[in-house]
Amino acid sequence: MVIEKARSLLGYHKVSIVPVMNDFLLWGDPRAVEAVERLLLKVWQATGFQCPLAKRTSWGESPTRWLGSHWIWCDGSLKLVRPQGADIALGNVEGLTKRRVFQVAGRFTEISGGVNESLARAHADCARVLASKASTWDVAEPGNDWALPASVHLGLSLKYWEQAAILEDAELCLLTGIKCIIAEVDASAGGYGFVWKDSDSGSP
């Protein structure tokens, strides 16, 4: 409503705003953005809400971290840069805690929705499920039966996350574009696997 009033009262039509949870993204003509931002701040102040300067940022050519990703505004285009996972270190499996698993698994956020990213997030979810067996959050439980498989799943998360950065961020392959999926299990029905096939050539 504030934006509509700004457009009618101030005549600014070249500005867009998108609310994301408790954040607001404004973009468009610089003068229009500045005017609408001032109006929003006045409305919030009048209704008891505060948005201190430390909570505000203008995106530019240097990446800005927000919602687990890095954002760049360059030449009128908004670009997203996937955070690198190379700095993720689990440490000794015997010393792995439930909290550490959840911290690492939370790094694999939804960005593109591509195949490799989805696999990374799925393995992170598996690690969380396994770590949920722990009786405490911060105390390691040597000899437990969940730490090793959880670390394996997180390792696979990292692998697919890096593949997503290479294969999907430049040329995204969405799950909705996959026409053929084959899931096979071994004779004991205890294993699983996926084969992704090209819809045109039929090759894996």
Q: Is residue 78 part of a domain?
A: no
Q: Are 29 and 43 in a shared domain?
A: yes
Mean pLDDT of the chain: 80
What distance in Å separates the CA atoms of residue 93 and residue 146, rounded to the nearest whole number? Answer: 10
Between these two residues, 181 and 173, which has the higher pLDDT value? Answer: 181
**Residue 49 within a domain:** yes
Please check whether residues 156 and 184 belong to one and the same domain.
no
* Same domain assignment for residues 181 and 156: no
Does 106 share its domain with 164?
Answer: yes
pLDDT category, 152, cuts 50, 70, 90?
very high
Q: What is the mean pLDDT of residues 98-112?
A: 89
> pLDDT, tens digit, for every residue of 187-200?
555 555 555 555 56
Q: What residue numbers bound the domain in which 179 lies?
A: 175-203
pLDDT at position 87 is 62
Domain match, 93 and 160 both: yes
Q: What is the DSSP string of 102-133?
A: HHHHTTS--SS-BHHHHHHHHHHHHHHHHHTT
Q: Do residues 166 and 182 both lie within one domain?
A: no
| 7 or 49, higher pLDDT | 49
Asked if the structure places residue 64 within a domain, the reply is no
Q: Which of 17-26, 150-159, 177-186 has the lowest mean pLDDT?
A: 177-186
Determine, yes or no, domain membership for 74: no
In a domain, 25, yes or no: yes
- Give yes or no: residues 96 and 143 share one domain: yes
> What is the crossing angle of helices 2-10 and 30-46, to 10°?
130
> Taking the complete model, does pTM exceed 0.85, yes or no?
no
Q: How far apart are the first and last CA of the chain?
A: 50
Beta bridge partners of 81: 70
Instruction: Flag whether 76 is in a domain.
Output: no
Q: Are residues 191 and 124 in the same domain?
A: no
pLDDT for res 34: 86
The answer to whether residues 37 and 93 belong to one domain is no
- Total domains in the chain come to 3
φ, ψ for residue 53 (rounded to 5)? -60, -35
